[in-house]
Structure 1
Amino acid sequence: MTTTSTPYHPGERAAQARAGRTERADHAGRSIRRTVPAVAARFLAERRMLVLGAADRDGRVWATQLAGPAGFLTAPDERTMAVAALPAGADPLAEALAGPARVGTIALDPVGRRRMRLNGRSVPDGRGGLRVHADEVVANCPKYIQRRTPTDRPAAGPPRTVAAGPVLTTAQRLVAATADTFFIASTGPDGSVDASHRGGFPGFLEPVAPDRLRWPEYPGNSMFLTLGNLELDPRAGLLLPDWETGGALLVTGEARTDWSEEARQGVPGAERMVELTVTGVLELADATPLTWTDPEYSPAIPR
């Protein structure tokens, strides 16, 4: 739980101290709000996609995506985000979001390399969408966002399952090995959920085995919201969008951080490594009615 003196819970504090970033985290923490400022409301209204993390009915954590025309995200007041979309029936979070749920969200602007996180409590709005009451609003830096422009796919159908299983297939491991972006959902000690973004050159996400994925943690904003959650609760969900087809690969499992110098040797820019033990995989076609242009890689990615 956070306190009045800090916006961080004990897991985040532990990760910050372990990394020697407590002072930087205190400075960055001033940007954590409980309300949606006017500039953030305008940002939301322009977005075409929202990444959302939550736990399913069995307690497994997943990250998924919702999409719509500009305006499908709005902030009707400073404590609320309205989302004019719901996960389809094939989505692992469809059942959980049919009722009240703790959620973590991230609205991404790949064109302008901007992002905003809003974490809180969602309820169905009765009109095919969600209303999310904000507990935490965070504007993040542009690091590691690949520049892309969206294009509508008028012929896109509803999301449908291509494959599901306990581990990654050979083809799915290739998808992971060539990804330049993924999103990760994690949970806090009070049941809160956070959704975050990771970017790098293809190959930065490594499929070590059918049941293991590994990636480097590059220098960030020093808040350690994701790694702080993982310090206390290893449950995590990854979303790998297929930017070319509108499909998506969703992975759930348990993640642990390796803080040792040995783990990051030979990985340019890595400050630590994270490894996810995979317990479930869902591959969706038509996960979103959008495709995106080829990436312009972020200049922040270590070479």
Structure 2
Amino acid sequence: MDPYHEGSRAVQTRIGVREAADHVGRSIGQDIRDVAAVFLGLQPMLVIGAADEGGRMWSSLLTGEPGFVRATGRRWMSVAAGLPDSDPLVAALAAEGTAVGTIALDPRTRRRMRLNGTAGPTARGFVVEAEQVFSNCPKYLQKRELRASVPARHGAVRREPELTPDQARFVHAADTFFIATASADGADAGHRGGNPGFVRVESPNELSWQDYAGNSMFLTLGNLENDPRAGLLFLDWSTGTTLQLTGTAKTEFGVHGRTNRFTVAEVVQTPHASPLRWSAPEYSPANPPLRESA
């Protein structure tokens, strides 16, 4: 069975990496293998991507003591945590049969794995029936140490139709963000990383970033080929504040590479959303130098 849909195949063909994609695609399976189950059980955070009840894509952060995410069989992942009531995906995770993409990323080891499937609520959180399970390489992951976990104390949630000046500075200083996209086959949650400034704030309602060379799968860009909806998550690793953006994205293919442009529809800022406090980053040696223009 082809692990890629027509959108990903179209991008792979355009760039000329179908053979490489075929090779990497063999790692995509439906089972949660033992090594993946162990990895999940050690993680204090999980990022999830899905559409809200209005169809807009969001990327949200879940945290807990290691063990709050665990494999409960070869095809099932259980999450014993919920989102704060103010999170845009609360209703989606309370519904049966929600298409979700998840990514477990460990900054301490520069390891990450993705699990996409269908979610349903439980008494303690939710479960996901896996449809795609795979790991990604450590490229563009900044290394961080977990310094502390403090009592949760969510601040007042701020909702805006576009980025404020402070939020724009937050985005410009980021070295990491997560992106949720969707296709007819389901949802996906991915990671993007680079040196601070790799995300450009073109205006209060437009961002751009270079699409760096990766694993040739083109799951995110493949989804955007057919469905422009996207949700971004930025995290202040030292304070736990999250910035969630929903909107649309497109990819521009040029002679000097690929540029992604994101149009903001809504912004949700939650102070101290995460109880985790991380160290300053050790930047990935794979991060390219910043270009003068996007």
TM tier, smaller: over 0.9
Counterpart of 1:14 in structure 2 is 10
Three-state SS of the structure 2 residue aligned to 1:295 is coil
For 1:164-209, what per-residue CA distance to the aligned partner results, in whole angstroms no more than 9, with x for missing partners? Answer: 111111111000100000000000123x000000000000001100
Shift of 1:79: 0.1
TM-score where L is the length of structure 1: 0.93
For 1:115-174, what per-residue CA distance to the aligned partner results, in whole angstroms no more than 9, with x for missing partners? Answer: 0000001111122x11110010011000000001123343431x3443111111111100
Distance in structure 2 (CA, Å) of the matches to 1:154 and 1:256: 38
Distance in structure 1 (CA, Å) of the matches to 2:183 and 2:272: 31
The answer to whether the aligner puts 1:134 opposite 2:130 as a matched pair is yes
Counterpart of 2:102 in structure 1 is 105
The answer to whether the aligner puts 1:177 opposite 2:172 as a matched pair is yes
Counterpart of 1:88 in structure 2 is 84
Distance in structure 2 (CA, Å) of the matches to 1:21 and 1:30: 15
Distance in structure 1 (CA, Å) of the matches to 2:120 and 2:224: 26
| AA of the residue aligned to 1:116 | M
Counterpart of 1:246 in structure 2 is 240
1:289 to 266, 269, 275: 275
| AA of the residue aligned to 1:204 | F
Three-state SS of the structure 2 residue aligned to 1:15 is helix
The answer to whether the aligner puts 1:60 opposite 2:39 as a matched pair is no
Contact 1:145 1:298 in 2 (8 A): yes
Matches within 5 A, 1:253-292: 253-261=247-255, 264=256, 271-292=257-278
Counterpart of 1:298 in structure 2 is 284
Question: Structure 2 regions of 5+ residues with no counterpart?
Answer: 290-294
2:36 to 27, 31, 40: 40
Three-state SS of the structure 2 residue aligned to 1:222 is coil
Distance in structure 1 (CA, Å) of the matches to 2:184 and 2:219: 12
For 1:86-129, what per-residue CA distance to the aligned partner results, in whole angstroms no more than 9, with x for missing partners? Answer: 111011101111112110000001111000000001111122x1
Contact 1:90 1:161 in 2 (8 A): no
Counterpart of 2:74 in structure 1 is 78
The answer to whether the aligner puts 1:168 opposite 2:163 as a matched pair is yes
1:122 to 114, 119, 122: 119
| AA of the residue aligned to 2:6 | P
Contact 1:161 1:282 in 2 (8 A): no
After superposition, the CA RMSD in angstroms is 1.0
Three-state SS of the structure 1 residue aligned to 2:90 is coil
Question: Structure 1 regions of 5+ residues with no counterpart?
Answer: 265-270
Distance in structure 2 (CA, Å) of the matches to 1:16 and 1:40: 27
Contact 2:168 2:204 in 1 (8 A): yes
Over the matched positions of the two proteins, sequence identity in percent amounts to: 51
Change in Cα spacing, 1:16 to 1:301, as seen in structure 2 (3 Å) is same
For 1:203-238, what per-residue CA distance to the aligned partner results, in whole angstroms no more than 9, with x for missing partners? Answer: 000110011010011110000000000000000000
Contact 1:118 1:136 in 2 (8 A): yes
Q: How many residues align?
A: 288
For 1:226-265, what per-residue CA distance to the aligned partner results, in whole angstroms no more than 9, with x for missing partners? Answer: 000000000000000110101100000000000012xx4x
Distance in structure 2 (CA, Å) of the matches to 1:195 and 1:120: 11
Distance in structure 2 (CA, Å) of the matches to 1:237 and 1:293: 26
TM-score where L is the length of structure 2: 0.96
Which runs of structure 1 show a deviation greater than 3 angstroms over 4 or more consecutive aligned residues?
Answer: 159-162
Three-state SS of the structure 2 residue aligned to 1:31 is coil
| AA of the residue aligned to 1:54 | A
Distance in structure 1 (CA, Å) of the matches to 2:79 and 2:155: 21
Contact 2:86 2:157 in 1 (8 A): no
Matches within 5 A, 1:174-213: 174-190=169-185, 192-213=186-207
Counterpart of 1:220 in structure 2 is 214
